[in-house]
Structure 1
Amino acid sequence: MNRLFLLGALAFAVGAQAAEKYDREMLAARGYDASIADLLASGAHFLPGKHPVSIIANGRNSGIFPLLFDEAGSPCWSAPLLRTLGIDARRFASVHSSCLQPIAESGIRIVEQVERSTLLLHIPADALRQETLYATGGSALMANYDFRRYDVQAQGGKYRHSQTLTAELGANFHQWIVRSGQSYTTFDGEARFSHLYRYAQRSFPGRDAVLQVGEIVTGDALFPGITLTGVQMLPEHAASDRLSLTVSLPRAGSAEVWQGKILLKSYQVSAGINRLGGLPALSQQDDFTLVTFDESGNRQQQNIPRLQAQPESALPESSSAFAAGRLRLSRERAPLMLASTGLLQTQRIALRAGGLAGEGYLAAAWQARLRLAGKLTASLSQIVAQTGGKKLGATHQAALSYPLDQQLSLTTSASWRSRGYRTIDSGWRADGEQSGDAQIRSQLAAGFSLNRAALGLLSLTASDTQSWRGNHTRGYTLAWSRTFARVNLNLGVQKNRLTVARQQHEDRYAYLNFSLPLGRDSNLRGWMTRNNGAMRMGAGYDQTVSPAFAWSLSSEQSAQQAPSLASSASWSSKYSQLSGGVARSATGSRFSFGARGGAVVHSAGVTFTPHSVGDTFSIISLHRAQPDVEIRTPAGTVWSDRHGYAIASLTPWRKNSVQINPHSLPGNVQIPGGIAELTPFRGAAVQLDLPAWRVRRALLTFPPEERPEPGSAVENSRGALVAFVSEDGTLFIDDLPAGPLYAHRPGGARCAIALTTPWVDRPGSLYTPLSARCVI
């Protein structure tokens, strides 16, 4: 009991202020020398001067800052640092020039951990500043990549291969974001390289605006998706010009989204309903092509109307937007200028209008959003355009949305065009392919989603497109999934019909699959698919060996072919995500390989990450070469590399939490503040310090004749208290100092503690047992 009391007293003594007093009579009553009250009261203080210290405020790591300590070893605070930490400077008083210290009534308590260069701040809620302070600054280079390779060796000896690579390169400096996106594809030696975008971006939160310069895609609500080289200004919370698609897939594997002959992005997908986000669309009208590959090498392709794509952000109704530049991705590099603004906004209606002017092209547009009842909203818009000073055309669009709650949603949209309507980028592309958007007569799209515990998840999407040339495309996808006890069922039906020159081409596809967990880390699955009358059946087994490695084995058979066998594996490390697969069937062999991830070049070197790097991120430093520490971030789990660094993508303008998993630390490593919260400015490359300290915990045992007095205080050469000798004569030290230690023998004689066994660092051990003598 006395040992626990002294350990608690020692822990408290580290942060005790010099003015605090300890009850000498209480210590004496417990069998300890009352003189140790002076040691407990003196505590440990920083030396005068400026020192870099880690500041942990209310259990959250705020980073490392250079801090000045006065002659008494007390920290001197400055107004800018208090503002950075979010502390009300009115709770501090000026001691002398450039030195603020908390007043007695502030309620702020400071605990000094000198041996770890750390200050623990306990700040009451009323002493915190209320305004949001954004984390800013930082400079770094970044890269994202997603590589896929597919090889097919046919039974007759014919060999085919294809490769895809989407990459994003860029830099962050002083809240400026520079990004360049490109894709590269090869098929049987034929290569294609495409620039998706190249721009620089800067946010101005005071004006709620963001500026983009370069090869951009317009994000205007009335004229979206126009690719140009120029400049645009948008509201900050509508800066993203990316789209998302919701698709239903029969089996897990990989998916590619194309527009025209340009690869936009690749994804890892699972069986069932998937949301494919972050699409950098290159046309405001051209449809998407979804190409999927499962582990058996089966390839499926479907067209998705552009109308079904959902923007990931929307312009506020009362905001304004502006863009100017020259068209790109077309033979005509015509200059253009466009702008739109909100005219009226009430609880029931929002009205927006705008215009576009280009070489030989003029357009005017308006949009009205109506709240009909509850959450039921309708949208009406119209664009009237004049081409070449003569041709006049119009397009009309209507949409209905009813998101009742998170379990039910309904969206419908329709557009109609007159024969003479043309978009400004209609006509012929730079690659010589004619864009079909000039010939579209009407488009209809609908989506329905219902999620109920008794029913499961039901999703339906449908579309219909007609052109003035008589071409007609119609299709729908129905998907349903539900879990019965431990078994998960997925059902999907898809139908597409294309009519060209009065000839119909119809594609029908249906699937049914199930998955059954066999334990915590394994899964059994089976499936049936029917594609244009051809039936396939198969079964597979999945095994998750560790959080980093998983593999699967499957077999599939059809009525026309012998059984096929396929196997795949995935491995996630702190550097990248790797995947591979092999399949063997009567028609030949298929091989696949993939790698995806990101990298950041910063002042301390290069740090790789298995996740893509966003436009705002943090460079986490443990301040020592401590690898394999698990860190939970808003974008997923990452691990520190061999230099003690990791990358965490952050969401700008929102509070982000970064937390170290203490169970991933070796037994001899401690992190005083393993949780950090920060609200970053968009474009910031924040340096986040979570310093890890390697401690030398030791349990010292002594021979009976050279054992210190039980309860004796142990001091270092400066007279600071280190530990107490326990009742059984052993000595446990949380962090063994490098210098000499002193205690007292029975009778009061002072003795020096000498180790008789050398210190050995054991990273996986909580402490190291050592033998020692206490010699006079």
Structure 2
Amino acid sequence: MHRGCLAGAALIIVLGTAPVARSAEGLSVQFNPDVLKSRGLDPRLAEYFSQAPRFREGVQAVALSVNGVPKGRVQVTFNAEGELCFTPSLPERGGFRAADHVESTGDSGCELFARYFPGAVVQADPSQEHISLLLPTDALVPDRPVRRSFLNGGTAGLFNYDALLLGSRFAGQSSQFRNLNAELGLNAADWSFRSRQVYSEFAGENRLEHLYAYASHTSERYQANLQLGQLNMVSPLFSGEAFNGFQVQPELALMALDDDSSGARVEGIAYSAARIEVTQSGALIYTTVVPSGPFTLVGLPLLSQSVDLEVTVHEEDGQQRRFIVPATQLRGGMTGRAAGYGLAVGQVRRYAGDERDAPSFAAASKDWRLGSRGQVTAGAMFGTGYQSLGWAMQGGIGDRLILGGRQVISRAQDQAVSGTQLQWTASGRLSERLSTSVALTQQTQGFRTLSDTTWDSRNDRPFQRVRNQLTANLSTSSPVYGGFSASYSRFSMFDGTATSRVALAWSQSIRRANVTLTVERDVAGASDDARGTAAYLSVSLPLGARQTLRGYVRNDDVSGTRSGLRFNEQLSDTLAYSIGAERPDDGSAGFNGRVNLLPRYSQLDMGYSRSDADSQNYDIGLRGGALVHGGGVTLSPYPLRETFALLKAGDSAGVRLNTPRGPVWTDHSGHAVAASLPAYSKGRVELDTASLGRNVDVHNAFQEVEAGRGAFAHLAFDMVTARRVLLQARTADNVLLRKGGAVFDAQGQYITNVLEAGTIFLPDVRPDTSLHVVLPDGIRCRLVYSLGEPPDTQSLYETAQATCHAV
């Protein structure tokens, strides 16, 4: 198809100023046969190139639009001339009425679409796999709003895993830490079923924790998401609880909103190669290993956006540091959020080892828009011996500033106390290069969340109650002075103690080098527990496109001053490594190394460090997913999310495809997994043609899909194995064929032309291919040639000698 377009363009160039007549519709071109003959070309070529590009015969998936409105991808049928056939699904998917009655032509293969809609215009673009229909307005269905069509359905199971093993030896003592985070799931009929468990083992103690198991379904009609099972409450007002029951929330993706948890970030400094643990509501939700220096964690699997995170840093010498990330830093802004409603009903669920009472509750909230930039939310929560009311307001002032306020009042009957919690937030851009945000939360002594009411003050000692929280962030950038950011957080308790944390960061590019300075100070409630100040200065210098050399100096009150050098290299898409050395104040240098592997179907990280003869550490991490479908099991280097796709590209392993999550490779059956597709928006998958064999052609190297939440899509790339051959053809008298002869197959279809010195390039040769040549003087001859077996798949084309026998 594309070959014909290019050859046609070349033919027009050859013709120069030859007389050409075009039809009014621009669908055909007529060439002057006398001019063709005078240029040494077979006049029969004019018939082939007179037709416009067209779809190949059969059923194909195309992007459909009707009168300019996208309708999504549909299955349509084309006849041998590339004309669109009518199928009953077309009017339904396109949103127009079918003709009342059309006499059948008796052809069981294809009824032309044009016979059903004589006044319609069909615009076909084979290169983009797109069909555009222009129909009379009276053919459109007027009694329903035009809605976009999304890909829905599909059934598949999944398994996600994230395993971590850490070993250490210090002062003659050795220890190991093991952690496995596993998730089981099933997608069926746009329902998503998920179950997540965490297993950890350390110092002879092991812990298995079941985090949740739920079913989820999105109603596109009502733009709402329903969840059933073991859930974590999502509420814009009330503190999230793990519970058994159901909840209904607005489908944020359908409303063109960002995910509230997308802004969740944990930033800090590790004094050494350290293990980071993140817990929420007493449950371990994430653990990883970071090198010494500043670290940032993103994409955390939060249980709730309304509960603080507790971060524990385990240093390699056994020391531990803890800090809190307030819930106000986990939640996205409400400005621009479409008005919706929320409902949650159930019974509080306790994790393993928590024997407290589990009260029942019901919570509801509703949003109302105030103009184009404001919103008000109100709600109520009623539980066993507990009542709470709340409201929130947020809006924009001008184009730069966003202000918000929230108040929740509570009454705990069993404890005979009542109180209130207030929260104020402000964020915005003070100038083109300066932005800031501030959040203040205060609560009275008698305020209680539903979880607080189950603590027995006489027998239990829960976490210290926070009186107020203050967080502030400031960031600016300048092409001269670089980028600067500052953050401050303070927690005050009702017992009079307080903790605060300050972090400053500056970075600047100086010629080819990048300089970064980070300073962090943690202050605890008691003077003997103060963590002091940590500073980290690094200079990175790129040595090439894939190599970087970084030198650094760090200082903290615990470990003193250390300096180091690290070399990083990205050898390929699947292999990277780094090696480094570090020297402390006492002069005993240590070294460390890390290897990051992406062995196509999983992710593997390995690290080792040694600071002296008595201090050694190593870690091994393995993560990925597996998709269980009708064709078997396909592995993925990334965990599978709610919406995903099974990819098919030929029947061989090693074909690379670029997905929204990252690159993947096909397995031995030609399958791969797009582990995450954006719900209700376009997801693009591209085939890397450089990973194909030289004898493989692909009709379209990219596909786009708009999938509904919970859908399991199938995307297949049409690939053909071609055997390209360059012949040097001679007559039976050993004379090279003259340039300009036309080559045809047994059915009379034009293939190519004879070029200089009797060369003929055949784009695809089949075992039963029979070819003949029509020379410029009208003589016909049959090509006879012999090819080696098996085909050469490493060469772009094969070469062979041919003899053309007169017929």
TM superposition score category, shorter chain reference:
0.7 to 0.9
Following TM superposition, by how much is the alpha carbon of 1:94 offset from its aligned partner in structure 2, in angstroms?
A: 6.4
In 2, distance between residues paired with 1:753 and 1:351? Answer: 80
In 2, distance between residues paired with 1:224 and 1:630? Answer: 45
Match status 1:754 vs 2:781: no
Residue by residue over 1:420-470, the C-alpha shift from the partner in whole angstroms, topping out at 9 and shown as x without a partner, is 22110126689x996746722222211222233223222222211122223
**138 and 406 in structure 1: CA distance in 2 versus 1, 3 angstrom threshold:** farther
> Which of 749, 752, 775 is the matching residue for 1:723?
752
In 2, distance between residues paired with 1:576 and 1:732? Answer: 42
What's the counterpart of residue 541 of structure 1?
567
Unaligned runs of 5+ in 2: 15-24, 141-145
**33 and 246 in structure 1: CA distance in 2 versus 1, 3 angstrom threshold:** same
Match status 1:101 vs 2:109: no
In 1, distance between residues paired with 2:317 and 2:147? Answer: 54
**731 and 54 in structure 1: CA distance in 2 versus 1, 3 angstrom threshold:** farther
> Which of 398, 418, 421 is the matching residue for 2:424?
398
**31 and 89 in structure 1: CA distance in 2 versus 1, 3 angstrom threshold:** farther
Match status 1:388 vs 2:413: yes
Following TM superposition, by how much is the alpha carbon of 1:230 offset from its aligned partner in structure 2, in angstroms?
A: 0.9
**284 and 35 in structure 1: CA distance in 2 versus 1, 3 angstrom threshold:** closer
In 2, distance between residues paired with 1:203 and 1:433? Answer: 44
Match status 1:190 vs 2:190: no
Calculate the aligned-residue CA RMSD, in Å.
4.0
Residue by residue over 1:577-636, the C-alpha shift from the partner in whole angstroms, topping out at 9 and shown as x without a partner, is 2111112221232111111222222222222222232211222212x2133333222222
Alignment of 1:54-65 (within 5 A): 55=62, 65=75
Following TM superposition, by how much is the alpha carbon of 1:138 offset from its aligned partner in structure 2, in angstroms?
A: 1.7
What's the counterpart of residue 394 of structure 2?
369
In 2, distance between residues paired with 1:67 and 1:753? Answer: 36
Are 1:203 and 1:209, in contact at CA under 8 Å, matched by a contact in 2?
A: yes
In 1, distance between residues paired with 2:453 and 2:182? Answer: 29
> Which of 126, 135, 150 is the matching residue for 1:134?
150
**327 and 4 in structure 1: CA distance in 2 versus 1, 3 angstrom threshold:** closer
What's the counterpart of residue 33 of structure 1?
42
What's the counterpart of residue 496 of structure 1?
522
> Which of 764, 770, 774 is the matching residue for 2:794?
764
- Which amino acid in structure 2 is aligned with residue 454 of structure 1? V
- Which amino acid in structure 2 is aligned with residue 28 of structure 1? K
**214 and 47 in structure 1: CA distance in 2 versus 1, 3 angstrom threshold:** closer
What's the counterpart of residue 115 of structure 1?
none
Following TM superposition, by how much is the alpha carbon of 1:317 offset from its aligned partner in structure 2, in angstroms?
A: 6.3
- Which amino acid in structure 1 is aligned with residue 158 of structure 2? M
Following TM superposition, by how much is the alpha carbon of 1:303 offset from its aligned partner in structure 2, in angstroms?
A: 1.0
Are 1:10 and 1:723, in contact at CA under 8 Å, matched by a contact in 2?
A: no
In 2, distance between residues paired with 1:421 and 1:92? Answer: 69
What's the counterpart of residue 211 of structure 1?
226
Which is worse superposed, 184-193 or 707-716?
707-716
Are 1:708 and 1:745, in contact at CA under 8 Å, matched by a contact in 2?
A: no
| Count of residue correspondences | 755
**425 and 450 in structure 1: CA distance in 2 versus 1, 3 angstrom threshold:** same
What's the counterpart of residue 20 of structure 2?
none
Which is worse superposed, 172-181 or 356-365?
172-181
In 1, distance between residues paired with 2:41 and 2:759? Answer: 16
What's the counterpart of residue 543 of structure 2?
518
Alignment of 1:432-581 (within 5 A): 436=462, 439-499=465-525, 504-533=529-558, 534-560=560-586, 562-581=588-607
Counterpart of 1:332 in 2: which secondary structure? coil
In 2, distance between residues paired with 1:573 and 1:88? Answer: 49
Alignment of 1:567-606 (within 5 A): 567-586=593-612, 587-606=614-633
In 1, distance between residues paired with 2:159 and 2:633? Answer: 11
> Which of 713, 717, 729 is the matching residue for 1:690?
717
In 1, distance between residues paired with 2:134 and 2:521? Answer: 59
In 2, distance between residues paired with 1:406 and 1:90? Answer: 55
- Which amino acid in structure 1 is aligned with residue 77 of structure 2? L
**268 and 739 in structure 1: CA distance in 2 versus 1, 3 angstrom threshold:** farther
* Aligned residues with identical type, % of pairs: 25
In 2, distance between residues paired with 1:75 and 1:406? Answer: 53
Unaligned runs of 5+ in 1: 113-117
Match status 1:226 vs 2:247: no
What's the counterpart of residue 85 of structure 2?
76
Residue by residue over 1:559-593, the C-alpha shift from the partner in whole angstroms, topping out at 9 and shown as x without a partner, is 23611111111111321121111122212321111
Normalising by structure 1, what TM-score?
0.86
What's the counterpart of residue 22 of structure 2?
none
Are 1:428 and 1:435, in contact at CA under 8 Å, matched by a contact in 2?
A: no
- Which amino acid in structure 1 is aligned with residue 159 of structure 2? A
In 1, distance between residues paired with 2:319 and 2:547? Answer: 26
Following TM superposition, by how much is the alpha carbon of 1:74 offset from its aligned partner in structure 2, in angstroms?
A: 4.6
**435 and 370 in structure 1: CA distance in 2 versus 1, 3 angstrom threshold:** farther
In 1, distance between residues paired with 2:99 and 2:770? Answer: 40
Match status 1:355 vs 2:380: yes
Are 1:576 and 1:610, in contact at CA under 8 Å, matched by a contact in 2?
A: yes
In 1, distance between residues paired with 2:136 and 2:535? Answer: 62
Residue by residue over 1:76-95, the C-alpha shift from the partner in whole angstroms, topping out at 9 and shown as x without a partner, is 132534775x7988999968
Counterpart of 2:758 in 1: which secondary structure? coil
- Which amino acid in structure 1 is aligned with residue 370 of structure 2? Q
Counterpart of 1:279 in 2: which secondary structure? coil
What's the counterpart of residue 700 of structure 1?
727
In 2, distance between residues paired with 1:279 and 1:589? Answer: 31
Are 1:478 and 1:492, in contact at CA under 8 Å, matched by a contact in 2?
A: yes
What's the counterpart of residue 761 of structure 2?
732
Residue by residue over 1:108-154, the C-alpha shift from the partner in whole angstroms, topping out at 9 and shown as x without a partner, is 45588xxxxx9965648999998532122222112222221111133
**484 and 46 in structure 1: CA distance in 2 versus 1, 3 angstrom threshold:** closer
Following TM superposition, by how much is the alpha carbon of 1:171 offset from its aligned partner in structure 2, in angstroms?
A: 1.7
- Which amino acid in structure 1 is aligned with residue 267 of structure 2? V
Alignment of 1:119-268 (within 5 A): 123=132, 132-154=148-170, 156=172, 158-237=173-252, 242=261, 244-249=264-269, 255-259=276-280, 262-266=283-287
Following TM superposition, by how much is the alpha carbon of 1:658 offset from its aligned partner in structure 2, in angstroms?
A: 1.9
In 2, distance between residues paired with 1:312 and 1:689? Answer: 37
Following TM superposition, by how much is the alpha carbon of 1:403 offset from its aligned partner in structure 2, in angstroms?
A: 3.8
Are 2:564 and 2:580, in contact at CA under 8 Å, matched by a contact in 1?
A: yes
Are 2:412 and 2:453, in contact at CA under 8 Å, matched by a contact in 1?
A: no
Residue by residue over 1:545-567, the C-alpha shift from the partner in whole angstroms, topping out at 9 and shown as x without a partner, is 12221111111121236111111
What's the counterpart of residue 704 of structure 2?
677
Counterpart of 1:545 in 2: which secondary structure? strand
What's the counterpart of residue 278 of structure 1?
300
Counterpart of 1:206 in 2: which secondary structure? coil
Are 2:305 and 2:327, in contact at CA under 8 Å, matched by a contact in 1?
A: no
Counterpart of 2:439 in 1: which secondary structure? strand
Following TM superposition, by how much is the alpha carbon of 1:363 offset from its aligned partner in structure 2, in angstroms?
A: 0.9
**616 and 403 in structure 1: CA distance in 2 versus 1, 3 angstrom threshold:** farther
Counterpart of 1:26 in 2: which secondary structure? helix
Which is worse superposed, 97-106 or 281-290?
97-106
Following TM superposition, by how much is the alpha carbon of 1:641 offset from its aligned partner in structure 2, in angstroms?
A: 2.6
Are 2:427 and 2:438, in contact at CA under 8 Å, matched by a contact in 1?
A: yes
Match status 1:304 vs 2:304: no
In 1, distance between residues paired with 2:789 and 2:49? Answer: 28
In 2, distance between residues paired with 1:377 and 1:54? Answer: 46
Match status 1:320 vs 2:344: no
**770 and 259 in structure 1: CA distance in 2 versus 1, 3 angstrom threshold:** same
Counterpart of 1:219 in 2: which secondary structure? coil
Counterpart of 1:76 in 2: which secondary structure? coil
> Which of 441, 446, 463 is the matching residue for 1:415?
441
Which is worse superposed, 359-368 or 32-41?
32-41
In 2, distance between residues paired with 1:19 and 1:411? Answer: 63
